[in-house]
Copies of this chain bind each other. A is one copy, B any other.
C-alpha cells in the first residue's frame, strides 16, 4: 500500500511513530516559517506540517501543492500544540520528512466542502468530484450499509437471493418498457424488467419458498424529480403464506434496518385500511408522525344558506393546535396555498378558537357562535386552536385537505426527518376505473388476488372488490408495496379478462406464467421496497438522486458521460434498424 495508515485513524496513541499517508490536498496555509496541509481521504483529514527552518526545500515543495493534488507523505506523528478536538485526528499532526506528488490536479470547478459553491448541473457533470464531498460519500456508505443489513437479515430468516434476468420480454401493460434489439434474432427485442414480478412468481412455482433480491429495475417514463429510469428494489416473495405472514416478516426487516442503521427502536407497526387512510388523512400514504386527522362536518353545517357548504358533497377540516394566533396574512397565505392548481380547493374556511374562549370564523355571516361551538366540539378543539375547513366533491376535497394537513405539519415542525413513523396500509381496492380509456386497471398489478369474500363482486361491482394488497408507508412516503398473488390459472384468466385482455393477448404476454400455474403453483405473495427511496428516507433527504452514485437528470441523461448518444451506422445495420427521426 502507498500508505501505512489512513487519514482518519491517527491519534495520540501513535505519537512518535513514522507513518505514510496518501490522499488529496484539502487546503494549505503558510504561517510564518511553517506550511500546514490538510490531507484528506475517505476516512478523514490529517494535518501535515512542513518547516522552513528544518527542511527548506521540502517546505518549498509543499508550498507549490494545489488543491486536490494527490500526494503521499511520510513523517512523524507529533502532538499538536493547538489541538482541534472537533476532529478525531485533531490532537496530532505529521512532521513530514518525505513528500511524493502522485498526481496533480486542475483547480476543481467547485469547492470540495460539505457546503459547496457548485450548482446542481455542475456537480452532476463532475460527479466524481461531487462524490469527494463527505455528505455525498456518506449517502453511499449508508446505502451500502442498508444493503448489507438487508441481505444478512433476509439470509438469516431463510431467504435465498436469486438473480433474475435483465434481458426479458416486453409487456405493454403498465409503464413503458425500455427495449433492447436482438442482433441474433432479427426484428425481435428484449425488454428490461420494470420488476422481476413474473420471475419471482415462477420461483415460487419452482418451490424456492423464500426468495429475495436487491435488483435494478427500469421504467421508460417521463421523469419527475424523484424518479429515475433505472432504480433499485428489494424484491421479495414467499410461499404458503397469508397476508399476515408477509406483514410480520417485513415488519421484522423494517425494524432491523431502523435498529442497525439508525439505532432507532420501532414499535409494532400500526395497520390501517385504505378506506380509513382516505377518510382520516385523504391519502393512501398518510404521514402519521402527527395526528391532525380529518373531521367531517357535512351534516353539521347544512341548512344555513352558506352555498359553498350547501352544495358540497363533503365538508371536512383539520384542527391546527395552537394556531389561533395566525395573522390575516398567514391565513391568506394558507388560502392561496389550497387554491394552487396542484392542491385544487376553491377556498378555505377557518374558525379561530381564541384563548378567551370566543370563536371567530370566516363564515360568521352564516353561523352563530353556538353553531361554531358544535364544530369545535366535533374537532375536539380547545382555546388557542385554529380549525381549517374545505368543502366540495369528496375525493378532491380530501386530496386538498391532505395537502393542507401536510403543509400545517411542516409549519408546526411536526415532520422532523429524524422521527420515523412507519405503518401498513392494507385492503387496497383491486381495480381502478379509468375514465379516459373506459376500462379498469389493476391498482397494484394484474397478479394481485382479490379478497376471497369479495370475489362475488367481481361480476357485479368490480370497483368495490378489495385486494389482498398492502403498502409500507413511512413518514408519508410509500416505501414498499405488495400483495398475495393469484395462484389459480382460472382466476388469473378471469382477471386478465376484466382488465380487457383478449385471450390471445393474455396468452402471448403471460402464457408462460399461466402455463406454470397448471403445474402445481403454491399459494404465495410478496412485496417490493423502493431501495433508493428507502435510503433517502433513512438519510433524511427528499431526493433519491443524492443516494445514487451516478444518477440521470430529468431528461434521462447522464451528463457526466454524455449519454445517451448516437451509435455508429454499422451498429444500426447489424441490428437491422433504421432511424425514423421527426423532421425538423
Query: Which chain A residues have a beta carbon within 8 Å of chain B's beta carbons?
Result: 1-3, 22-24, 40-43, 68-70, 72, 102-106, 108, 126-132, 137, 140-141, 143-144, 147-148, 151-152, 155, 160-170, 172, 176-192, 198-199, 202-203, 205-210, 216, 218, 220, 222, 229-230, 232, 239-242, 245, 487-488, 511-512, 516-523, 548-550, 552, 555-558, 560-568, 571-582
A-B contact pairs, 16 of them (CB 8 A): A1-B241, A2-B241, A22-B240, A102-B522, A103-B487, A105-B518, A131-B208, A148-B152, A163-B232, A167-B552, A167-B564, A172-B568, A185-B557, A191-B567, A511-B562, A573-B580
Closest B residue to A223 by beta carbon equals: B184
* Alpha-carbon distance between A202 and B128 when the two chains are bound, in angstroms: 6
Report whether A131 and B68 are in contact in the complex, using a CB–CB cutoff of 8 Å. no
Report whether B552 and A188 are in contact in the complex, using a CB–CB cutoff of 8 Å. no
Report whether B523 and A2 are in contact in the complex, using a CB–CB cutoff of 8 Å. yes
Report whether A22 and B522 are in contact in the complex, using a CB–CB cutoff of 8 Å. yes
Q: With A186-B581, A189-B567, A567-B179 known to touch, is A562 a contact of B169 (CB < 8 Å)?
A: yes
Report whether A580 and B577 are in contact in the complex, using a CB–CB cutoff of 8 Å. yes
Q: With A558-B165, A566-B187 known to touch, is A520 a contact of B104 (CB < 8 Å)?
A: yes
Report whether B206 and A132 are in contact in the complex, using a CB–CB cutoff of 8 Å. yes
Shortest beta-carbon contacts, A-B, top 6? A105-B520, A131-B206, A169-B563, A188-B564, A182-B564, A2-B240
Report whether A148 and B164 are in contact in the complex, using a CB–CB cutoff of 8 Å. no
Report whether A560 and B163 are in contact in the complex, using a CB–CB cutoff of 8 Å. no
- Give chain B residues whose Cβ lies under 8 Å from the Cβ of A564: 167, 169, 180, 182, 185, 188-190
Q: With A571-B179, A579-B576 known to touch, is A512 a contact of B1 (CB < 8 Å)?
A: no
Q: With A128-B516, A512-B562 known to touch, is A167 a contact of B230 (CB < 8 Å)?
A: yes
Report whether A105 and B179 are in contact in the complex, using a CB–CB cutoff of 8 Å. no
* Alpha-carbon distance between A209 and B517 when the two chains are bound, in angstroms: 48
Report whether B242 and A42 are in contact in the complex, using a CB–CB cutoff of 8 Å. no
Closest B residue to A172 by beta carbon equals: B568
* Alpha-carbon distance between A257 and B408 when the two chains are bound, in angstroms: 55
Report whether A240 and B3 are in contact in the complex, using a CB–CB cutoff of 8 Å. yes
CB distance from A219 to the nearest CB of B (A): 11
Report whether B169 and A144 are in contact in the complex, using a CB–CB cutoff of 8 Å. no
Q: With A102-B523, A487-B103, A564-B190 known to touch, is A162 a contact of B178 (CB < 8 Å)?
A: no
Report whether A549 and B162 are in contact in the complex, using a CB–CB cutoff of 8 Å. yes
Can you name 5 extra interface pairs (CB under 8 A) apart from A1-B241, A198-B561?
A: A2-B240, A103-B522, A169-B563, A190-B564, A512-B561
* Alpha-carbon distance between A183 and B179 when the two chains are bound, in angstroms: 10
Report whether B548 and A163 are in contact in the complex, using a CB–CB cutoff of 8 Å. yes
Report whether B187 and A128 are in contact in the complex, using a CB–CB cutoff of 8 Å. no
Report whether B189 and A41 are in contact in the complex, using a CB–CB cutoff of 8 Å. no
Report whether A186 and B240 are in contact in the complex, using a CB–CB cutoff of 8 Å. no
- One of B155, B190, B568 near A148 (C-beta < 8 A): B155
Closest B residue to A159 by beta carbon equals: B144
Report whether A137 and B207 are in contact in the complex, using a CB–CB cutoff of 8 Å. yes
Report whether A169 and B561 are in contact in the complex, using a CB–CB cutoff of 8 Å. yes
- One of B192, B203, B239, B520 near A549 (C-beta < 8 A): B203
CB distance from A309 to the nearest CB of B (A): 46
CB distance from A514 to the nearest CB of B (A): 12
Report whether B578 and A512 are in contact in the complex, using a CB–CB cutoff of 8 Å. no
- Give chain B residues whose Cβ lies under 8 Å from the Cβ of A188: 564-566
- Give chain B residues whose Cβ lies under 8 Å from the Cβ of A556: 167, 182, 184-185
CB distance from A203 to the nearest CB of B (A): 7
CB distance from A555 to the nearest CB of B (A): 6
- One of B166, B170, B191, B568 near A230 (C-beta < 8 A): B166
* Alpha-carbon distance between A257 and B242 when the two chains are bound, in angstroms: 37
- Give chain B residues whose Cβ lies under 8 Å from the Cβ of A242: 1-2
Report whether B520 and A165 are in contact in the complex, using a CB–CB cutoff of 8 Å. no
* Alpha-carbon distance between A575 and B564 when the two chains are bound, in angstroms: 13
- Give chain B residues whose Cβ lies under 8 Å from the Cβ of A205: 128
Report whether B152 and A140 are in contact in the complex, using a CB–CB cutoff of 8 Å. no
Most buried by B among A140, A179, A207: A207
- Give chain B residues whose Cβ lies under 8 Å from the Cβ of A3: 240
* Alpha-carbon distance between A241 and B580 when the two chains are bound, in angstroms: 49
- One of B179, B512, B520 near A575 (C-beta < 8 A): B179
Report whether B68 and A519 are in contact in the complex, using a CB–CB cutoff of 8 Å. yes
* Alpha-carbon distance between A520 and B39 when the two chains are bound, in angstroms: 13
- One of B178, B206, B571 near A180 (C-beta < 8 A): B178
Report whether A167 and B207 are in contact in the complex, using a CB–CB cutoff of 8 Å. no
Closest B residue to A185 by beta carbon equals: B564
Report whether B565 and A163 are in contact in the complex, using a CB–CB cutoff of 8 Å. no
* Alpha-carbon distance between A58 and B232 when the two chains are bound, in angstroms: 48
